[in-house]
Amino acid sequence: MLLVFCIGLALGALGGLFLAWLARRENVRLDEQMQMLEQEKAIVFDFVHNMVEAIGEGIERKELLERVVHAAILSTGALSACIFERKDDQLRGVAVEGLFPPHRPLPESVRSKISTRSKFVEQVLKAEVFKVGEGLVGSAARTGKGILIENALDDPRIIKHEDPALEVRSVIVVPISFRGINLGVLAIVNPSDGGSFGHSDFSLAVGLAEQAGLAIHNLDLMATQIEKNQLDADLGLAHEIQSMLLPKSFPQVPELQMASIYQAAQKVGGDLYDVFGLGPDRVGVAIADVSGKGIAASLLMAICQSNLRHMAQNIESPAMVLRELNEVMLGEMRAEMFVTLTYAIVDLNANELIFARGGHELPILIHGGNGEPRADFLSTEGMALGMVPDDIFKQAVKDSVIKFEKGDILALYTDGVTEVVNSENIEFGNVRLSEVIRSLHMRSADDICKGILDRVALFSGLEDQSDDFTVVIAKHL
């Protein structure tokens, strides 16, 4: 019995020692895991810090991606890595370091030129385009899940290349995403020690890819903001230029009262109006509308106005001015752009209007001198500038002459006025516009403009306009 008791004590002591050894071993393993986690945190922290600094310094997108690839190689001890950028449903290699194996087998024509190694393979890799879902990289992009292949030599998903330098022994593929939106894929190939990637390497790659997604998003956001700021500056400059081109005052001609409305739908508009003296009793009045809006439209209008003013001082016929203007503007406009324009000369000595219309809205003439005022639409032939060759345009545009007597009112306007719609999608139209002007014919030109604004606003009930809004009123006192 004593022997059995002694043996039991010995076994118990041995068991205790064994358990103590296991505990120490477990503690060592936990310590190693903690150290590894701390190392991973340090690597990711350094990476984030470097990315923030790089973005702050104005790094280009290409260089940012190259830094991500380099960080992935340094942190995992890999021989090569590549980032595949996603555009719609396609992936393309955009940043590569090391001799990264192409996604598809190399054709014979390429294999015969592979003596230049990494640079040549890099060119091949960047030329490859494949769909989301295709291969390991495409699968990671589609599913949003990373892939770790510790032993890739026997994995059927791995492309086998004849060149031993392109052999894939172990691979990590992780998606680069931001808020659930896939931006691309980071692929890391072959540890430099000849072994295999482990779960700690995979975890580290996932962390780097997550931070890379954030860095790419921030870089794109900053680039967008810089572009927006530049665009705002350009728009501001275009707005100032356009404001300078619009007339600040009207020619002081006895018996003629002028007023205008100009409201651009955007910071710069595609409408133009101008009023200028042509002698003691003659005034030139023009209104135009270019297809489109924004900077391109405003620049085209500036060109149009400068040419119009120059030609109007030397040519007495409005139709001839439009013909000359069309010939000049044909070389200045893109194929999809055109300008509608009406140019009229108010001759107070002859009590006449001489005008030509280049595809613009019909001028309105209110006869208000005697009896009940009457509204007429001045319809003439004509087509927009920049649409047809000069010989065709010359045949279509002609001068029209009409009486403009005391009490009469000329109204020129753009389609931004007449095409305003109400809640029932009914347009304001030129008939309503003529009725507004006719009802206000006893008022001043300024009051007529204000009345038009009030009636249009009451009709539409809208605070924001969708198109440029321009009216010019000339009243024969």
Q: Across the chain, what does the average pLDDT equal?
A: 83
For residues 306 and 243, what is the distance between their CA atoms, to the nearest angstrom? 14
Q: Higher pLDDT residue, 171 or 371?
A: 171
Which CATH number does the domain housing residue 252 bear? Answer: 3.60.40.10
Q: What is the pLDDT of residue 436?
A: 96
| Residue 377: Cβ within 10 Å count | 12
Per the structure, the complete domain to which residue 120 belongs is given by 36-221
**In a domain? residue 22:** no
Nearest to 350 by CA among 278, 263, 294, 286: 278
State percent of the chain over pLDDT 90: 47
Same domain, yes or no, for 186 and 40? yes
For residues 204 and 453, what is the distance between their CA atoms, to the nearest angstrom? 65
**In a domain? residue 158:** yes
**In a domain? residue 287:** yes
Same domain, yes or no, for 330 and 184? no
Same domain, yes or no, for 201 and 320? no
Same domain, yes or no, for 272 and 134? no
**In a domain? residue 431:** yes
Same domain, yes or no, for 211 and 280? no
Same domain, yes or no, for 331 and 384? yes
Same domain, yes or no, for 97 and 213? yes
Q: What average pLDDT score do residues 77-101 get?
A: 91
Same domain, yes or no, for 55 and 193? yes
**In a domain? residue 237:** no
For the chain, what is the domain count? 2
Q: What is the pLDDT of residue 290?
A: 86
Same domain, yes or no, for 253 and 217? no
Same domain, yes or no, for 290 and 183? no
Answer whether residue 122 shows pLDDT above 50.
Answer: yes
- CA 79 centroid distance within chain: 39
**In a domain? residue 14:** no
Q: Tell whether pTM > 0.85.
A: no
Same domain, yes or no, for 158 and 300? no
**In a domain? residue 228:** no
Q: Higher pLDDT residue, 154 or 174?
A: 174
Same domain, yes or no, for 415 and 355? yes
**In a domain? residue 112:** yes
